[in-house]
Structure 1
Amino acid sequence: MNLDPGFIWTALRSLLQAVPTTLAITAVSSLCGLLLGTVTALLRIYRVPLLGQASSAYVTFIRGTPMLTHLLLIYFGLPLLIDGPLAGAGLPVRSAMIPMIGFAYIAFSITAGAYLSEVVRAGIQAVDRGQMEAGLAVGMTTGQALRRIVLPQAMAASVPNLSNSVIGMLHASSLAFTVSVVDINAQAQIVASTNWRYFEAYLAAAILYWGMTLALERLAALVERRISLYNRGGVSS
């Protein structure tokens, strides 16, 4: 079988319709994961009784198991967890009402939360302890000092690792096709099934993923540059 360059272009145009789904999965899982990861990191750093140990167990379990397993556990396990209690409570809501992409949102957010908690924890620990002490010295509470002083510096220091995690979630979103979500990967399979040009279709998908990855890398570099200028007291244009 010969390579068909024309079909690569045809497949590429068809795959563009699945880009919003892929970006939505990446954005939702990264943002929710960052929120979950920040809470998890704080619980571990401050060793909150019970919650700190539970957070450590959560991070260990998620980091020790494949992302596809998380997705399948949510897909098959969530109905078992919520349908019975909801039926017992007389509520008409069922797991079948959750759109397929909802399972991907939940599973990937949980996964991202575990990995991003390590990024946030490293960022917080990189901030000098004197910063917290200075905040407390001027009358701030621990929460205020964290929110206004420590976390902004921690996030700024974590930009490279955060961007790598977002890119990782972009690539991991390709697993969503296993629960019937039509992302770029699934769309490539659909396009290829029309004439068995699987190599060309997946090559087009690879080009799309590569392009989005380059865009994210450029965006991260821009953020890093602006933060660097701000830290040096410069004025960004």
Structure 2
Amino acid sequence: MKLDLSFIWQALLQLLTAIPVTLAVTVVSVLCGLVIGTAVALIRINKVPVLDTAAAAYVTFIRGTPMLTHLLLVYFGLPFAIDGICENFGWAFRSVSIPMIAFAYIAFSITAGAYLSEVVRSGLLAVDKGQIEAAYAVGMTTSQALRRIVFPQAFAILLPNLSNSTISMLHGSALVFTVSVVDINAKSQIIASSNWKFFESYIAAAVIYWGLTLFIERITAMAERRIQTYNRGGVS
């Protein structure tokens, strides 16, 4: 067996067209997951009756089951629920009109929400409670204290873990090929199917994933430097 370097380059060029799909799945799931995770974290920190138990159960279940399971549950379960509701109310809409990538968005957002809730919760708990009391003392409301005092400091604390979670979601997005979404992983299989050079094709895919990971790490490092400069009182 001889490694075909020229085919690796050809596959690499062809795989570039699949990067937007992989990035879309990653970005949407992380952003939506961050919103979900923040809400869940606040519920658990403030121990909201009933919701606290539901939030804890959600985090435990999602963290205790694989991402692929979440994707398949949404892929098979959501259409069943949507079609049943639409049929019950006499609506013409059916789940078949929903693009496949939407199921990936929903499933991975739910997954990211559970993991990021713990990241956000640890960041919020790390902020000194005395600062919140000081905010109340100067007349701030709870929402103002969170927005101006707590969240900025918590973000600086949780940024490294947020970066790690983003990288994990980037790598986990390779599972979308199971629901017929053509991302980098699926594209590499399609490219290799023409001549059975799967090894070379997967090498090209690995290079792209590696490059995207380095890009995320670079962006995180830049953000950390700007935050550190701001905290020292400098100009960011």
Deviation at 1:196, TM superposition (A): 0.2
Deviation at 1:135, TM superposition (A): 1.3
User: In structure 2, what is the equivalent of residue 129 of structure 1?
Assistant: 129
| Alignment of 1:181 onto 2:212 | no
Q: TM-score, normalised by structure 2?
A: 0.98
Matched to 1:11, the amino acid is: A
User: In structure 2, what is the equivalent of residue 97 of structure 1?
Assistant: 97
Distance in 2, matches of 1:97 and 1:156, equals 41
| Runs of 4+ residues deviating >6 angstroms | none
CA RMSD of aligned residues (A): 0.8
| Alignment of 1:9 onto 2:6 | no
Matched to 1:78, the amino acid is: L
Distance in 1, matches of 2:120 and 2:194, equals 45
Deviation at 1:144, TM superposition (A): 2.0
User: In structure 1, what is the equivalent of residue 205 of structure 2?
Assistant: 205
Count of aligned pairs between the two proteins: 236
| Alignment of 1:38 onto 2:33 | no
Identity of matched residues, %: 68
Distance in 2, matches of 1:93 and 1:39, equals 31
After TM superposition, the structure 1 = structure 2 runs for residues 146-165 of structure 1, keeping only pairs within 5 Å, are 146-165=146-165
Distance in 1, matches of 2:185 and 2:138, equals 53
Q: Deviations 1:69-98 (Å, cap 9, x if unpaired)?
A: 000000001012221112211222221111
Deviation at 1:156, TM superposition (A): 1.5
After TM superposition, the structure 1 stretch with the greater mean CA deviation from structure 2, 199-208 or 76-85, is: 76-85
Q: TM-score, normalised by structure 1?
A: 0.98
Matched to 2:129, the amino acid is: R
Q: Deviations 1:137-195 (Å, cap 9, x if unpaired)?
A: 12222222112211121111111000111111100000000000000000000000000
| Alignment of 1:87 onto 2:108 | no
Distance in 1, matches of 2:148 and 2:86, equals 40
Structure 2 gap ranges (5+): none
After TM superposition, the structure 1 stretch with the greater mean CA deviation from structure 2, 148-157 or 100-109, is: 148-157
User: In structure 2, what is the equivalent of residue 109 of structure 1?
Assistant: 109
Matched to 1:143, the amino acid is: S
